[in-house]
Amino acid sequence: MENNQQHDESVVGHIAPASMYVSIWAVLMAFTAITVFAATIELHVFNIVVALLIATIKGTLVVLFFMHLRYSPKLTMVTVVASIFFLFILFGLTMTDYLSRGWLTSAGH
Amino acid sequence: MATSDIQVAEHALQHHFADMEQQRETSTFGMWMFLLTEIMFFGGLFCVYLVYRAAYYTAFVEGSQKMNIWLGATNTAVLICSSLTMALGVRAAQMAKPKLMIALLLITILFGLGFLGIKGIEYHEHWVNHEFPGPNFHFVTGDPEHPATDAQHTEIYFSLYWAMTGLHALHMIIGVGLVLWIVLAGMRGAFTPHYYNPVENVGLYWHFVDLVWIYLFPLLYLISKKHGG
């Protein structure tokens, strides 16, 4: 009994049940099948919207459970949110430039 | 504190950490900081993709129709399976089951090599179809009755396809090497439930590479409705 307690104390980090990993795997496989099926339906511009929405659900599951973000310190969560924030600054500022080119000249010329 | 605990602590705890938990959290945080730079690394390519896709949408749709969606979907499934065996491998390390960890990580390596093999088949198809950017690039649609309306700019799509999947494949090759390193260290008995930081961090790397593919698949293969097979 005392040995068991010592063993528990020496374990660092959270151990999730194997069934959780298998459940997440099953959901990820199901969404992969759904996204391939969705690609056979004509949704015009929404094909990519649906595909990216499913990818984001899958990505969130991978980060939260496979990468243990759910069981990690808040500092790790801040790191992940910061990376997404800066990624969108990169996309946002780049696209405000490229998408708005010609807006000012087209009216005058 | 029991004698065995002191021995383990002397073996694995670096002097500048208060305890094993702090050491593990610091190590994992460092790995996340590295992955943040990796996100910005891939982010540059995703940004180029976004700019050119906005400029030459028709060419991107026509280029993406040449992707083999079944091989792409199979590879997505292969990577998800590899992430499961990786996650269970880390769990086995946490639970002091080194043999189970080694077995699960070897399966992860097999899935990783399977992914690279399938990717190689796709690369070969594109290569023989002259869909590699350069002097021999030549684009024709799969359907002779509907010739490409913007064949010229499909070369930009294929440049990004090769660059993005190529960088991803390079990460896969590095990942296979890292998992192999963990397997070899595991055989020497390097990891305990007390100390498994390298297993956890290589796991984070592996899941990150899976995550990149989860976005590459829709962006390169599923831009629009698939025509035919």
Q: What total number of domains does chain B contain?
A: 1
- CA closest to A97 among chain B residues: B51
Give me the CATH number covering residue B201: 1.20.120.80
Q: Is residue B99 part of a domain?
A: yes
Q: Is residue B108 part of a domain?
A: yes
Closest CA–CA distance from residue A22 to any residue of chain B (Å): 7
Q: Is residue B93 part of a domain?
A: yes
How many CB atoms sit inside 10 A of residue A105's CB? 8
What is the distance of C-alpha A4 from the center of its chain? 38
Minimal Cβ distance to B28: which of A25, A55, A76: A76
List the Cα angle B131/B129/B176 in 5-degree steps: 70
Distant-in-sequence, close-in-space partners of B210: CB < 8 Å, separation ≥ 6? A62, A66, B79, B80, B82, B83
Which residue stretches of chain B are H helix? Answer: 3-12, 20-55, 57-64, 69-94, 98-128, 154-187, 197-221
How would residue B20 be classed by pLDDT, with cut points 50, 70 and 90?
confident
> Which pLDDT tens digit goes with each residue over B79-124?
999 999 999 999 999 999 999 999 999 999 999 999 999 999 999 9
Closest CA–CA distance from residue B131 to any residue of chain A (Å): 23
Question: CA B76, CA A55: separation in Å to the nearest integer?
Answer: 11
Q: Which domain holds residue B191?
A: 40-221
> Which pLDDT tens digit goes with each residue over B21-77?
888 889 999 999 999 999 999 999 999 999 999 999 999 999 999 999 999 999 999
Query: Which residues of chain B are within 8 Å of residue A73 when distances are taken between CB atoms?
Result: 25, 29
Q: How many CB pairs under 8 A join A and B?
A: 152
Q: Is residue B33 part of a domain?
A: no
Which residue stretches of chain A are H helix? Answer: 2-10, 18-38, 46-61, 74-100, 103-108
Identify the residue whose tokens are 């649906």.
A50
Q: Do the Cβ atoms of B215 and A80 come within 8 Å?
A: no
Q: Which residues pair with B192 in a beta bridge?
A: B195
Q: Do the Cβ atoms of A63 and B80 come within 8 Å?
A: no
Q: Is residue B21 part of a domain?
A: no
Closest CA–CA distance from residue B107 to any residue of chain A (Å): 15
pLDDT of residue B142: 77
pLDDT of residue B186: 96
Q: Which residues pair with B195 in a beta bridge?
A: B192
Q: Do the Cβ atoms of B222 and A75 come within 8 Å?
A: no
Tokens coding B93: 């390390």
State the burial class of residue B187 (Cβ atoms within 10 Å of its Cβ: 0-12, 13-18, 19+): exposed
Q: Is residue B177 part of a domain?
A: yes
Q: Is residue B16 part of a domain?
A: no
Q: Is residue B123 part of a domain?
A: yes
Query: Which residues of chain A are within 8 Å of residue B25 when distances are taken between CB atoms?
Result: 73, 75
Question: CA B202, CA B93: separation in Å to the nearest integer?
Answer: 12
The winner for highest mean pLDDT among A45-54, A95-104, B200-209 is B200-209
Tokens coding B64: 């993406």
Question: CA A9, CA B192: separation in Å to the nearest integer?
Answer: 13
Residue B8 pLDDT > 60, yes or no? no
- Say if pTM beats, i.e. exceeds, 0.95: no
Q: Please report, as a single letter, which amino acid is at residue A91.
A: F
